[in-house]
Amino acid sequence: MISNKRLVLAHFWLAFALFGVAVLLGEWQMFIRSPLSGWLRNADMYYRSVTAHGTVMGYVFPTLVAMGFGYFISEASLGQPLIGRRWAWTGYYMIIVGSIAAVVPVALGLDSVLYTFYPPMIGNVFYYLGVVLVVVGSWVWVALMGVNLYVWKRAHPGAPVPLAMFANVAGAYLWAWTAVGAALELLFQIIPVALGYATTINAGLSRVLFSWTLHAIVYFWLMPAYIAFYTIVPRAIGGRLYSDSMARISFALFLVFAMPIGIHHLFADPEVGSGFKVVHSIFTAMVAVPTLLTVFTICASVEIAARLRGGTGPFGWVKALPWKNPQMLALALSFVMLGFGGAGGLINMSYQLDSTIHNTQWVTGHFHLIFGGAIVIMYFAIAYDLWPHLTGRVIQDARLVRTQLWLWFIGMIVLTFPWHYAGLLGMPRRMAFYDYTAPGMFAEGVSVVMSVIGGALLVVSALIFIAVLVRNHWATRVEPETFTFSRAVHEPITLPWALNGLGLWVALMIALTITNYGYPIVQLMRMPEASVPPVFVGGKP
């Protein structure tokens, strides 16, 4: 029984409304960068748009989805009313205030620093304070998830923690720790300069601190999608989860391996020694372990569902899968995009191969294929599964839902594959305009036009998604069945303490982070020549 439906809906609706605006901004950016645009040549507007698009997509949208989904999971899996409801609303309003504080200076052109801040560029202080407020609001959610689990465990000594809540709290703790890097950068590096209290900024140290957040945040975005893989899809397609233990190990390994890897984004930065770059490259490869465990476990779970439906043979069971079920379709499309995005990531994480695609459109293509593709399509699936339980009304447009999912998949492929190609040709990213009349630019121009078409398909898909959710609120009222999560083939009766709590994994996460970041940070703090004058965006305050 969900007693805080308004709280969950408020988070989801704010997330999806901002997502819709950000998708429109993304398509506009693609259009004005293409040869199709001959009149909208305003670089300032472009970078304002990129900053707003990245800030919403990187910080606000996935955080709100994780929070709303987390509150739902807490009540649905633990079977107890949410503890700290007023604090939850407080965190929600803090995110609203923070978002407004951040977006106003961006709209005024005072903060075109992109969502990674890029020191020594310095924008208006209210943008940074707004981002900090968004993060602090989300930390309220982190605390509440920990408190709710603690209270439940005290009331159920020795009982297995429900898998969905185990994974949900793992995602919350991962977010709390990965956000520390950006928080340190903002509080001790950027904001003092933006306020005029410092005249130089240690750009190398700032970039290392942000790398603490930069890649692990991707796994925070992934957590809701992985929770859906394990705890929603098997049930929704009429099957069972192959292994509860393997799922817990996957989420625990994400905590351990997601953090000490971010310096692989700084392969071209001279401030960091090559030794730590190699170490971070190796740990980045280790993140593939929980991903491969997930692919194996979910494929096995899907096969169980197919054989329960009469599927036979080594591969004949694939035909027995419920392909018209939106959850099945979303899972399959997500896995395809995860596979392509993961393959591209192998180039990014390689200490040697990264130099061939560094700072090119390849990186943009890889990033969007993982987040915009594999992750966001599962956010859609989560919303479609939860909405009837939140509104008491059934989503009736199953064909329209499948169309929306297919459009998102096709649009993302058409958008990102040309970016990979253009990146191999050497096309730089973060550029407002290109001179397509220059020799050798024809192929890049064609790829950008294809990306415009892909972006248009994504806009249509996003509009359909929002329309389906809105229409649901006026659909026929029904009494939905009690929400349940997927049941494992062998449901746990008892669990070893390491798989029934997160203490060990959080300790390993912190220890590995300190080991892999401690020396580079201390080294850069003792390197005064790394400090440079700031470059103020929108004029010095």
- Quote the Cα angle for 22-25-26, to 5°: 90
Q: Half-sphere exposure of 274 toward its Cβ, with a 13 Å CA cutoff?
A: 3
Identify whether the C-beta of residue 291 lies closer than 8 Å to the C-beta of residue 342: yes
- The encoded tokens of residue 487 equal 């049941």
Tokens for 265?
């984004």
Q: What share of the chain is helix, strand, coil (3-state, %, to 5)?
A: 70, 5, 25
**Spatial distance between the Cα atoms of 46 and 489, rounded to a whole number of angstroms:** 52
Closest CA to 452 of 419, 409, 421: 419
**Structure tokens, 122:** 């310095």
Write 180-184 long-range contacts (CB < 8 A, 24+). 180/212, 180/213, 181/209, 181/210, 181/211, 181/212, 181/213, 181/214, 181/262, 181/517, 182/131, 182/135, 182/209, 182/210, 182/212, 182/213, 183/132, 183/135, 184/209, 184/212
Residues marked as catalytic: 215, 219, 366-368, 429-430
Give CA–CA dist 403/413, Å, rounded: 15
Give the 3-state secondary structure of residue 495.
Answer: coil
∠ CA(103), CA(91), CA(17), 5° rounding? 45
Maximal C-alpha separation, the chain: 71
Alpha carbons 454 and 415: distance in angstroms, whole number: 4
Q: Which residue has the tokens 């058409």?
A: 414
The closest of 183, 158, 260, 167 to 220, measured between CA atoms, is 167
Q: Between the CA of residue 176 and those of 225, 288, 394, what are the distances in Å?
A: 18, 22, 35
Q: SS3 for 488?
A: strand
Distance CA 539, CA 106 (A): 13
Tokens found for residue 437: 């009349």
As beta bridge partners, residue 535 has 121
Burial class (CB in 10 A: 0-12, 13-18, 19+), 312: exposed
Spatial distance between the Cα atoms of 62 and 379, rounded to a whole number of angstroms:
9
Q: 281 is written with which tokens?
A: 């490259």
Residue from 494, 410, 495, 516 nearest 454 by CA: 410
Q: How far is the C-alpha of 399 from the C-alpha of 406, rounded, in Å? A: 11
